[in-house]
Structure 1
């Protein structure tokens, strides 16, 4: 049974209990019954946080919110960070907002793109403390195409046979922007930023979630460059095996964006795939992203990630997780 909320009633919104409706077998749920233009109650925050940890990514449709609303919503769940380590084009007055704008990417990357990386990735794992969670709001979306997919990294780990779990538990991997094969032009502004200000981290291949205690397969094509201590050939073969498990369609959910849709995902337990069906179409697609300050990943043996280059990425406020 759905909950109907009057859009102009603050009292009704503040009293509403979010309704959580799962949308796929392993990941994803729609949230109804709240208007994100209004401040959430503590009970609503607790319900949404619990759903996030269970379903990994949540979808809120028909949310007519602005930058300030998005930042305020994000801040109820943690410390909001600056937009991105390499972003210098945040909307004026909103340094926390990253514009995922197809109109800007041609200049940054030397080719038409609809995200900075059209490969499966967990946000900014090159950092020693990748974001704990991400909020993405759709502003301008195409009539066809432009979908985003998410995968459950906990399900990917659980899907491995026991011998591979034991192997993965003891491995560590180097994460850097672009992974093994960066997609941007070597002379683009983005390539120059990654070369002059490198951000590289060694993470455990299996990450233990700091809240749920679940283990996830913490490797993705967008950032994972190599497995530490192995030859290039050995690393590539094992990474391909792990990537196949991470991107197994059984663990995924796909979102058809519409203007006003907000996606909120646990970046510690998911990876996502930006659209590839719009390349060379000159279609405009604009979304706005905020991220929450993350913790330093820890593996099954209790060992933490190790920074090779780059500092921790911190916000200025405080909040929960």
Structure 2
């Protein structure tokens, strides 16, 4: 299914759906140039409708232009990980496989990668996560996104009734996962005096009114009525149910791709199936959201 809309005389946008339940790719647009209100709305609506949107061909953007483009989708918020930022742009964080850990050694990335949505331990987690490809390996290293809205709709009615009204307690890292977690995150959690942030397990989308499973397994200490260990098992069961191939799209980046994920209706995870001697560098920006309900 294809869709197109007119921009200024010099630009013509094209939005192509990737799959029935998820994903669309935008071409024919330059985010370094001003966009009118109708075009901005078309892009915004395409993210909400398709859960994940890819805007191609933006490899010429400066960090300032990239941030300005991201701000068309809402107010940017700080990333929790403040260690790696673009110089002069504190709202743009850097994900890079050539980073070093706290001991000066190559960071071990990917060992604990799981399906998640971002920053569930915050009262106002992001509504959009944006990833901009600065350097990419020859193959692999994509970002996988699942439509947690479609996945929820397909759950058995009995399971829907079971999780209706369930709440999650969210921290930096679940106590059930501390043995295998990043030592820096474990240290921060143990030193934290902040109580868990409580959110619904099934979230209502504030713009569409639809429901979706919504959680970050690694950050969930408990689901209502379950122990930390039972919580991890139960969330894995839910993850397995909603990450069926028909609900998922894995985007393998080209340099200059801007990937936009509607965090309110999805889970995502990074791929580490690439030659780690090659460089993978993404810029990440987060658009502030509302309190989940």
Task: Give the TM-score of the pair, scaled to structure 1.
Answer: 0.81
Provide the residue aligned with 1:305 in structure 2.
none
Provide the residue aligned with 2:260 in structure 1.
264
Superposed CA deviations along residues 158-205 of structure 1, whole A, max 9, x for unmatched, are 11111111111121112223444255343xx34333433466311111
Provide the residue aligned with 1:184 in structure 2.
181
What is the deviation of 1:224?
2.6
Provide the residue aligned with 2:71 in structure 1.
75
Q: 1:19 aligns with which of 14, 17, 20?
A: 14
Q: 1:50 aligns with which of 45, 54, 62?
A: 45
The count of residues paired between Structure 1 and Structure 2 equals: 288
Mark the CA change 1:224 to 1:233 in structure 2 (over 3 Å): closer, same or farther. closer
Provide the residue aligned with 2:248 in structure 1.
252
Secondary structure in structure 1 of the residue aligned to 2:118:
coil
Superposed CA deviations along residues 68-127 of structure 1, whole A, max 9, x for unmatched, are 111111111111112x12314322210110101112253489763456962111111111
Provide the residue aligned with 2:85 in structure 1.
90
Q: Is 1:99 aligned with 2:94?
A: yes
Aligned partners of 2:107, 2:277: CA distance in 1, in Å?
8
Mark the CA change 1:24 to 1:230 in structure 2 (over 3 Å): closer, same or farther. same
> CA RMSD for the aligned pairs?
2.7
How do 1:1-321 residues align onto structure 2 when only pairs under 5 Å count?
12-13=10-11, 16=12, 18-64=13-59, 65-82=61-78, 84-107=79-102, 112-114=107-109, 118-179=113-174, 180-182=176-178, 183-186=180-183, 189-197=184-192, 200-232=196-228, 234-278=230-274, 281-298=276-293
Mark the CA change 1:234 to 1:102 in structure 2 (over 3 Å): closer, same or farther. closer
What is the deviation of 1:235?
3.2
Secondary structure in structure 2 of the residue aligned to 1:86:
coil
Mark the CA change 1:198 to 1:283 in structure 2 (over 3 Å): closer, same or farther. farther
Q: Is the 8 A contact 1:137 1:288 kept in 2?
A: yes
Task: Give the TM-score of the pair, scaled to structure 2.
Answer: 0.88
Secondary structure in structure 2 of the residue aligned to 1:106:
coil
Q: Which runs of 5+ in 1 are unaligned?
A: 299-321
Q: Is the 8 A contact 1:58 1:263 kept in 2?
A: yes
Mark the CA change 1:296 to 1:62 in structure 2 (over 3 Å): closer, same or farther. same
Aligned partners of 1:247, 1:258: CA distance in 2, in Å?
24
Aligned partners of 1:60, 1:229: CA distance in 2, in Å?
42
Aligned partners of 1:91, 1:233: CA distance in 2, in Å?
38
Moved more, 88-97 or 125-134: 88-97
Aligned partners of 1:71, 1:61: CA distance in 2, in Å?
16
Moved more, 202-211 or 100-109: 100-109
